[in-house]
Amino acid sequence: MILIPIILVVIGLYIWSLYNKLVTTKTRIKASIQEIGNQLKRQAEMIPNLIDSVKGYMKHEKDIFKGLTDARKAILEATKANDPQMMVDASEKMQKHFGQFMALVESTPQIRAVEAVTKLMDELRDTADKAMYSRRVLIDLSADYNIMIVTFPAKLVAQLLGFKEEKGLVMPEEGEFREVSEEERKTPKVKLE
């Protein structure tokens, strides 16, 4: 009969450690969303500076400037809404326009020679990298977390303590195949709600 309290203690310890693990993962997921937001905000702040410092050299490239400004607006909206999917979409848009801009700068030696511009470009590239890595962390963590709460026996504890599935991200650059499967995964959830 001494076995019963031992089993209870073991179960208690298991629930305890699992709860901590789930909460930690959730916190890290939140932190990575925050980080994506921070980096995108930084990016948005730097764009006007960048445009100002190169305007003199490329007056006729209005389309590119407009694209960058639009992407900047989208980022500001997304960070205000604090929605990771919106943020990622906005940053994807920014990357597209920024890529065109980069190509233009690379082919214009006078601009490349301006130290302020190269510095800003470096900073922008770094923020883009940081946003990308945080995004990956977010994806990996939500995948881990979602697997954790649907596998036995953690599933029981997660249900008991009310842990819900985290929304993943749809990555545009990863091709239609991934996107479709992501949609398929989501459909039953919509029915439930």
Partner 1 sequence: MLNIYEQVDRNKKRSFLIMAVFVVFITLVAYVLGRASGYSSSWIAIGLIFSGTMSFASYYWSDKIILGISGAKEANKKEYFNFYTVTENLCLATGLPMPKLYVIDDTAPNAFATGRDPQHAVVCTTTGLLEKLNRTELEGVIGHELSHVKNFDTRLMSVVSILVGMVALLGDWFLRSTRWGVRGRPARFALRSMAGGNRERDEGNLGAIMFVLAIVMALLAPIIAQLIQLAISRRREFLADALSSMITKYPEGLISALRKISADIEPLEAANRATAHLYIVNPLKGDEFKGKIAGLFNTHPPVEERIAALSGLK
C-beta of 135: minimal distance to partner 1 in Å? 10
Nearer to partner 1, 58 or 148 (CB): 148
Binding residues (CB under 8 A) for partner 1: these are 28, 35, 122, 125-126, 129-130, 133-134, 136-137
C-beta of 190: minimal distance to partner 1 in Å? 31
Amino acid found at 132 = M
* Measured CA distances, 83 to 36, 48, 56 (Å): 10, 23, 36
Nearer to partner 1, 91 or 134 (CB): 134
* Measured CA distances, 160 to 50, 90, 157, 164 (Å): 52, 37, 5, 11
Closest by Cα among 105, 124, 101 to 113: 105
C-beta of 6: minimal distance to partner 1 in Å? 26
Nearer to partner 1, 21 or 130 (CB): 130
Nearer to partner 1, 74 or 121 (CB): 121
Nearer to partner 1, 104 or 137 (CB): 137
* Measured CA distances, 1 to 4, 10, 11, 128, 171 (Å): 6, 15, 16, 61, 55
Work out the widest C-alpha separation in the chain, in whole angstroms: 86
C-beta of 61: minimal distance to partner 1 in Å? 25
C-beta of 10: minimal distance to partner 1 in Å? 21
d(CA 48, CA 44): 8
